[in-house]
Structure 1
Amino acid sequence: MTDPLRDPRFFANPYPTYAALRDTAPVRKVPTGSGGQHSYLVTGYAEAREAFADPRLSKDTARFFAGRPSSRDLHPAVSRNMLATDPPQHGRLRSLVTKAFTTGAVARLRPYITGLVDELLDAWPEHGPVDLVESLAVPLPVTVICEMLGVPEADRPRVRTWSGELFAAGEPERIDAASHAIGGYMTELVAAKRAAPGTSLLDDLIAVRDDEDRLTEDELVSIAVLLLVAGHETTTNFIGNAALALLQHPDSWLRLRKEPELLPTALEELLRFDSPVGIATFRYSTEELTLGGTVIPAGVPVLIAPGAANRDPARFPAPDRLDLDRSATGHLAFGHGIHRCLGAPLARAEAELALGALLSRFPDARLAVPPEELAWRHTRLMRGLVSLPLLV
């Protein structure tokens, strides 16, 4: 059996593949990699929600790969970050950064984000083509998280490049090289901030390491890398996917132009409709378990697909229809359980302000190319556009 998740058509539109797999079984074995390797893929909503919260599905990748031969050379800051830990270590690390992403903390950032959105849109042409991904969806969250962490402006283009290369599906050498580039950079930035302290989130984490001894040096660098990458990748895809969905549904576009107060709730349906995370990060079974009627043996990888779960008709009737009147509460775009995305409030705020400004300032925007010509990122983890050419 070939790997259905590596078919080029999957990256352009994964939903027929997800539906076919889910119709066969909401949890099923799929081939991954070469040499007869396989994983269990979770595509049903109820099963995905259960799997996200099941402590028998471990995120501790270091434990899983211990003693296994590997040709990979990932930087430890990427391979052993907070996402790849279980309780109690995960709770300890998460508690150190949660306060920076609370609803209240994000509310205080909204004026800054609004100003940045206006600045980016001011650079758009009055008429003519513009790439929404390159000129809004990427620079907005990159700039915000870099400001929060104190990454110098001159270094941000390199950070963007390395972060994108970490998700180059099927190119392990490129991913490994990017991991060392970004891990090495953050190590150097930590050293620079120790020499000249500031007031950024990274400075706060350095103080936790140096003054309170609540982090190891490796944990400090790995958290910094994770915040840098996760702090913008999901939001970039969220903004691009949501804009495309609205452009392809003119009635919804027009409705939000006329009723902008609906945007915060519409975002939940947009997240459900085309989740910025297709397949969540790696888990493995620590013991045999049964999920969705499928027996999963101990010691095998388990992949949970929020993108598939959010289109499960058992949870969301007519799931392939964008419906702004739908209650999309409970979607899994940001995960579920203890590993739920801590940056969700920031992502929502950035998307709301970006899309709101787009709708009000460029009400007649339209696609510059046919939808079938749009290029999608070749990564199973992230679901996002390479570019979104518009005529404004």
Structure 2
Amino acid sequence: MTQGTLLQQITDYANRADPYPLYAELRRTPVARQDDGTYTVSTYWEILGLLHDPRISSDVRNRLPQEGCGLLPEQEEEGLPPSFIRFDPPEHDRLRRLAMRPFGPPHSPRRIHDMRGELTRMVTGLIDDFRDGNQVDLVDDFAYPFPVMVICKLLGVPHEDEARFHAWAEQVVAGLDPNPAEDPAERQRATQRARTELGGYLAGLIEEHRRAPGGDLLSALVTEQGPCGRMSPIEVVTTAVLLLIAGHETTVNLITNGMLTLLRHPDALKRLRADPGFAVPLVEELLRYEPPVQFLPQRTALTDIDIAGTVIPRGAPIWLVLAAGSRDPRRFADPDRFDPERPDNQHFGFGSGIHYCFGAPLARLETQIALTELARRLGNPRLVDDPPPYRRNPVLRGPRHLQIAFDGVTA
């Protein structure tokens, strides 16, 4: 086993393929202070309580200067102001309400539902491209491009601009998953350039949609006015970029972790092939069993907090280890078993509380459609490498490549 503290072992790439035994060990001390002053919280009920606790801040400006988290770089949104997930109430609440009005219930209950046909056509087209071979990298050839296609459709990006949008998105997303062979300074500069260029493009697109609104999300964000007024143009830009990055990373990992899990559990794959409705509980269990986001590393205590017998002092950084909480045996029976029939599956796959992932309905639908069609259309799919190579990022855990061999593609 990799040497170092337990948290250092969890973030070490050598343990990326299976961090769950380390999470089990971490749960023995529900709230633990690390050497750099960070406090980890790893058990279900304690995490749930803090996710709903107004004494926990998502704004890094509330962190005391002498404290820090030395195990992970801060993932700031270079080139743009921060999005609303980096804010606390009341700033967060105002912007989230404005973002949700055109995105989902209660004001726009059918926006995501009505995308089902378009999502299915996108998935069908990507799988059709597999027909010329008998092996595919599910990450590069399917899971990475699919969410960007979706966000282009959702935002109203013109077809002729999609290639440029894809290039910016790819560079921005790559900045979240550092490659040790790359120069960190150059990668940061490239990511910042991409963010700045993407922000400039979106600002121009927003102005076009303000002058001539359509039925897309950008038009709604820039024209609709709720009780809190409307978003400023830069707030629309940062919200659109948030939807791109957060939605992309969640969906890529959920699809690839999902297909990997199905190929390791052939009975579940067989059932999904026969029963598309099985995708709904299947995806919920995937969110618990192999969550796309492993922990939330950027939380701060606004005051001294006594939890599980430990006092977290004001200003201290907190890691909420969601993946450990979702396998807590005090909450889930036989938690290390993959069980799509699991009752009362209130996992942390999309978080909880005021920062619950507002793109969750879209990510669920994308993954349900993707896994159903892959199960239905790929003949005798099987893993080429198990475990596959994983992404470097310990927060956004998923395979970097997932080579799948198959015997053909059905119609």
Task: Check if 1:160 corresponds to 2:169.
Answer: yes
One-letter amino acid of the counterpart of residue 11, structure 1:
R
Look up the match of 1:19: 24
* 1:235 to 1:78, Cα distance in 2 relative to 1, 3 A: farther
* 1:75 to 1:183, Cα distance in 2 relative to 1, 3 A: farther
One-letter amino acid of the counterpart of residue 16, structure 2:
F
Quote how far apart the aligned CAs of 1:215 are: 2.9
Q: What pairs with 1:271-282 in structure 2 (closer than 5 Å)?
A: 271-282=287-298
* 1:133 to 1:73, Cα distance in 2 relative to 1, 3 A: closer
Look up the match of 1:252: 268
SS in 2 for 1:9: helix
Look up the match of 1:42: 41
In the alignment, the residues of structure 1 paired with residue 39 and residue 287 of structure 2 have an alpha-carbon distance, to the nearest angstrom, of 24
Look up the match of 2:400: 386
CA contact (8 A) 1:77 1:225 kept: no
SS in 2 for 1:13: coil
**Alignment equivalent of 2:363, drawn from 327, 338, 347:** 347
One-letter amino acid of the counterpart of residue 26, structure 2:
L
Unaligned stretches of 5+ in structure 1?
32-36
* 1:77 to 1:290, Cα distance in 2 relative to 1, 3 A: farther
Q: What pairs with 1:1-392 in structure 2 (closer than 5 Å)?
A: 2=5, 3-23=8-28, 25-31=29-35, 37-64=36-63, 74-75=76-77, 80-98=82-100, 99-102=102-105, 104-125=110-131, 127-151=133-157, 152-168=161-177, 173=185, 174-175=187-188, 177-195=190-208, 197-199=212-214, 200-207=216-223, 214-327=230-343, 329-369=345-385, 371-372=386-387, 374-392=388-406
In the alignment, the residues of structure 1 paired with residue 273 and residue 218 of structure 2 have an alpha-carbon distance, to the nearest angstrom, of 38
Look up the match of 1:34: none
CA contact (8 A) 1:284 1:301 kept: yes
Unaligned stretches of 5+ in structure 2?
407-411
Cα-to-partner distance string for 1:221-255 (whole Å, 9 max, x where unaligned) = 22121112112110110010011001001122122
Cα-to-partner distance string for 1:76-124 (whole Å, 9 max, x where unaligned) = 6656211111111111101112131445221111011011111111111
In the alignment, the residues of structure 2 paired with residue 96 and residue 366 of structure 1 have an alpha-carbon distance, to the nearest angstrom, of 44
CA contact (8 A) 2:305 2:313 kept: yes
- Over aligned residues, Cα RMSD in angstroms? 2.7
One-letter amino acid of the counterpart of residue 176, structure 2:
F
* 1:167 to 1:377, Cα distance in 2 relative to 1, 3 A: same
CA contact (8 A) 1:74 1:179 kept: no
CA contact (8 A) 2:299 2:319 kept: yes
In the alignment, the residues of structure 2 paired with residue 257 and residue 69 of structure 1 have an alpha-carbon distance, to the nearest angstrom, of 48
Q: Which moved more, 1:195-204 or 1:286-295?
A: 195-204
In the alignment, the residues of structure 1 paired with residue 276 and residue 224 of structure 2 have an alpha-carbon distance, to the nearest angstrom, of 41
Quote how far apart the aligned CAs of 1:259 are: 2.8
Quote how far apart the aligned CAs of 1:261 are: 2.1
Q: Which moved more, 1:142-151 or 1:168-177?
A: 168-177
One-letter amino acid of the counterpart of residue 26, structure 1:
P
CA contact (8 A) 2:67 2:315 kept: no
SS in 2 for 1:160: helix
SS in 1 for 2:136: strand
Quote how far apart the aligned CAs of 1:75 are: 4.6
- The 4+ residue runs of structure 1 with deviation greater than 6 A are 65-73
SS in 2 for 1:104: coil
In the alignment, the residues of structure 1 paired with residue 66 and residue 205 of structure 2 have an alpha-carbon distance, to the nearest angstrom, of 36
Aligned residue-pair number? 382
One-letter amino acid of the counterpart of residue 181, structure 1:
A
Cα-to-partner distance string for 1:28-51 (whole Å, 9 max, x where unaligned) = 1234xxxxx331111111111111
Quote how far apart the aligned CAs of 1:264 are: 0.7
CA contact (8 A) 1:64 1:284 kept: yes
| Percent identity of paired positions between Structure 1 and Structure 2 | 35
Cα-to-partner distance string for 1:327-348 (whole Å, 9 max, x where unaligned) = 2521010000110001111111
Give the TM-score normalised by structure 1. Answer: 0.89
In the alignment, the residues of structure 1 paired with residue 378 and residue 235 of structure 2 have an alpha-carbon distance, to the nearest angstrom, of 44
Quote how far apart the aligned CAs of 1:380 are: 2.2
One-letter amino acid of the counterpart of residue 177, structure 2:
A
